[in-house]
Structures are given as structure tokens and as C-alpha cells.
Amino acid sequence: MTFLTDLLLVSEGGGDLTELTPDIMSELQKNIRKGASDIEQKWPNALALVQKAYEVSGVQRPDPDMMAAWKQYEENITYSVQQLAKFRGMDGDWRMSAHIFHESLSVKKSTYRVSSEGSNSKETYQVAARDLDDIIDGINSSNTDLYDVDVKKAPDGRSATLAFSKWGIKKNYRVKIEKNNAI
């Protein structure tokens, strides 16, 4: 009889069938807590820990249209952030921004002056890139086979000139790239 009462409550808008029971939520949070406190586990972020907790508990992750279960999923992500911060600190290796920040520092870039000169115009830009070839590749990929590109690099590798032609006819347009200094 309680099943019919529960079903009646749901049909009248009194409940949501997607909502996880308190004991399942407790188990998920226990798994999140254990995962966060186990320092040997390396979590790239809080979401990965929540996904693993759902997997270990054998609970299907909700879809956004499962309103109550999705709200609980969001609560578990918040709980995961709190637990990771508690056990590993706010600057721990679980924070994605820390990884991205360190990666960006490890890539050395140089600045290049890129000048384009045509019959009626001349423009100059400052571009940051790893090397000269990155800029040349970028220009070639944006060219999309409109023109043939003739690349002439200086022997020291610090500059290059690009000339454009179509069907053997040279276009009155050149791009010169010159290395400035390291950032």
C-alpha cells in the first residue's frame, strides 16, 4: 500500500523518481571522502573523483533532464571540491588550473613582427609563437589552397619571407616575419 501512496505522491508532483535515496547519497559521499583522503590517488579534478565514486557505488550518473538526481550530482561535485581542498589543499595537484598554469609557463615563446605588404596596404603585427614555423604553418593553414606559398628562410632562422602566386603568376603581396626576443 505504501508503494501506491508513493506513486500517488509522484504523480501529483510530490516527488521525483530520479532522486537518489539518502543511503545511496551517503555511500557516494563516503567514497568521495575516501578518494580525497587517499593521497596515493591522483585526481585531475573534483569531477573525476565524483565520477569514480558513482562508478564504485554502481550508480548511474544522471542526465541533466533528471532534475533531482542532477541537483544531487552537482551537490556531490561541490562536496568533492570541499574534500579535496580539505585533504590536499587549495593549491593541490587536483586543480586543473594549476596544471594549465604550469604548462603555460614551461613553453617558451618568442615574439615576432609579422609585416604584410601589398600594392595598396601595409600592416604590421606582433605575434607570440614557439618558433618561426608555427607562424608559417598558421599562415599556410589560413591560405586554404588559394595561393601557392614560396617560403624563404634566412640562414640564421630568425626571419622568413613568404611570397604568393597562383598558376605561376606572382601576386603583389609579401609577408615578412622577424624574430624579436623571448617572452
Full-model pTM: 0.47
Instruction: Report whether pLDDT(1) > 70.
Output: no
Residue range(s) defining the domain that contains residue 166:
110-182
Instruction: Report whether pLDDT(85) > 80.
Output: yes
Please name which of 120, 163, 108, 113 lies closest in space to residue 140, comparing C-alpha atoms. 163
Q: Is 170 a member of any domain?
A: yes
* pLDDT at 29 (0 to 100): 95
* pLDDT at 105 (0 to 100): 53
Instruction: Report whether pLDDT(98) > 70.
Output: no
CA-to-CA distance for 110 and 129, rounded, in angstroms? Answer: 6
Is the same domain home to 30 and 73? yes
pLDDT tens profile 129-142:
888 888 888 877 77
DSSP symbol at 26: H
* pLDDT at 169 (0 to 100): 85
25 burial class (0-12, 13-18, 19+ CB within 10 angstroms)?
middle
Q: Which residues contact 25 (CB under 8 A, 6 or more apart)?
A: 72, 76
* pLDDT at 24 (0 to 100): 93
pLDDT tens profile 104-126:
555 567 788 888 888 788 888 88
Is the same domain home to 36 and 98? yes
Q: Check residues 95 and 63 and name the one with the higher pLDDT.
A: 63
CA-to-CA distance for 136 and 144, rounded, in angstroms? Answer: 13
Please name which of 61, 77, 80 lies closest in space to residue 69, comparing C-alpha atoms. 61
pLDDT tens profile 5-64:
444 344 444 456 689 999 999 999 999 999 999 888 888 889 999 999 999 999 999 988
Strand-pair partners of 178: 113, 159
Does residue 131 sit in helix, strand or coil?
Answer: coil
Q: Is 174 a member of any domain?
A: yes
Q: Is 49 a member of any domain?
A: yes
Please name which of 162, 156, 155 lies closest in space to residue 177, comparing C-alpha atoms. 162
The domain boundary, picked from 70, 102, 134, lies at 102
